[in-house]
Amino acid sequence: MTKRRAEITGWGKYVPEKILTNDDLAKMVDTNDEWITSRTGIKERRIRSESDTTTSMAAAASLDALGVAGLQPSDLDLIIVANSSPDYLLPSPANYLQHSLGATCPAFTIAAGCSGFVYSLVTAHQFIETGAYKNVLVVGVELVSYALDYTDRSTCILFGDAAAAVVLQPSTNGAGVISFELGSDGSQAHHLWVPGGGTVNPVSQKVVDNREHYIRMNGQEVFKFAVRKLTTSLNNITAAAGMTVGDLDVIIPHQANLRIIEFAARTLDMPMDKFFVNVHKYGNTSAASIPLALVEAIQEGRLKSGDVTGMVAFGSGLSWAGAVVKMGEAISNPVGIPAGAAITA
């Protein structure tokens, strides 16, 4: 019996119009374009406008993905949202997205930071593999800018806002999720966290005065963790799929820092053109990073039917997640409207 897998049949993205360049940041904090570019490879990032919310951004990307797949929101069996920057603490952003789309299916959120989309992709794969659901929407969306301290150049230069989504449907032709790895090391959680605002250190005047409601990061430790996990996870997921890293057509790494990707390429002895990179345009968009790169790789023709990609993300937790995915016929011949167009919910 041919194994059922979760195949990508629809894709879409949304990025805010507002662009924040390195020169713009130099007017806000002690930095400059050369300093940022040399250390991160980032030239600009997108920042939410007043009208952008987690829900609105996720909905825009979702409608495009549904359109490409030739589906309406009413066709969905499940919605999974990868997000750590919700519109409200309660309820889950997935519930707001479901309502915004006009869908009636179950919906839930996975908060795994930058690893969230791959966690969500793998979770969706389980529902499809078992036959529980047929049409699953997976969205990665983050408005990281609300949690940035623009007096801290170690963090504010890195992040941007974005959303991207995919539709997954069952396939028995070999396309879809082939292998995966999920991981977490909570002993290093304090290297990338928001120390205030939770139940341990609730919102208070002291928290605000100490700026503890913003993201804090130990850059050196996160860098070392990221390089290690990017390389080892790629080796692990390709071995589980019965191949090597060199067999992958395109590698889609988490877009956190170009230097991390370059270091991993040297360690793996892989050419940089094997890696899809868009960090220079968007910075680190957390849970939106992998799907945003995936969508652009498809739209630019870097990924075609039959191609195999390896995705690896790493982030808060400290967590990591990787998956090997084979592209099906839908990548080259979508059944619905082109990506970037709109449909009526």
For residues 187 and 158, membership in a common domain is answered with no
For residues 165 and 63, membership in a common domain is answered with yes
* Residue 230 maps to a domain: yes
Counting the structural domains of the chain, the total is: 2
Is residue 209's pLDDT more than 50? yes
Please report the pLDDT score of residue 337 as a whole number.
64
For residues 36 and 109, membership in a common domain is answered with yes
Please report the pLDDT score of residue 342 as a whole number.
42
pLDDT tens for residues 230-242? 999 999 999 999 9
Instruction: Tell me phi and psi for residue 136, to 5 degrees.
Output: -120, 130
Please report the pLDDT score of residue 340 as a whole number.
47
User: Of 116, 138, 173, which residue sits at a domain end?
Assistant: 173
The range of the structural domain enclosing residue 286 comes to 178-332
pLDDT tens for residues 37-77? 999 999 999 999 999 999 999 999 999 999 999 999 999 99
* Residue 254 maps to a domain: yes
Positions marked catalytic: 114, 254, 284
Beta carbons of 215 and 147 less than 8 angstroms apart:
yes
Cβ-Cβ contacts under 8 Å for 276 (sequence gap 6 or more): 250, 251, 252, 253, 293, 296, 297, 302
Please report the pLDDT score of residue 344 as a whole number.
38
For residues 233 and 107, membership in a common domain is answered with no
* Residue 225 maps to a domain: yes
**The pTM is what?**
0.95
pLDDT tens for residues 107-145? 999 999 999 999 999 999 999 999 999 999 999 999 999
State the CATH number of the domain containing residue 121.
Answer: 3.40.47.10
For residues 84 and 184, membership in a common domain is answered with no
User: Of 173, 190, 221, which residue sits at a domain end?
Assistant: 173
Length of the chain equals 345
Computed over every residue of the chain, the mean pLDDT equals 95
* Residue 343 maps to a domain: no
Please report the pLDDT score of residue 345 as a whole number.
33
Amino acid in the structure at residue 316: S
* Residue 344 maps to a domain: no
How far is 8 from 171, CA to CA, in rounded Å?
9
pLDDT band at 3 (very low <50, low <70, confident <90, very high): confident
User: Of 154, 173, 192, which residue sits at a domain end?
Assistant: 173
* Residue 192 maps to a domain: yes
pLDDT tens for residues 279-295? 999 999 999 999 999 99
Structure tokens at 323: 């998956």
Conformational region of residue 301, where left means phi above 0, alpha means psi within -120 to 50, and beta covers everything else:
left
Please report the pLDDT score of residue 333 as a whole number.
87
> What percentage of the chain has pLDDT greater than the value 90?
94
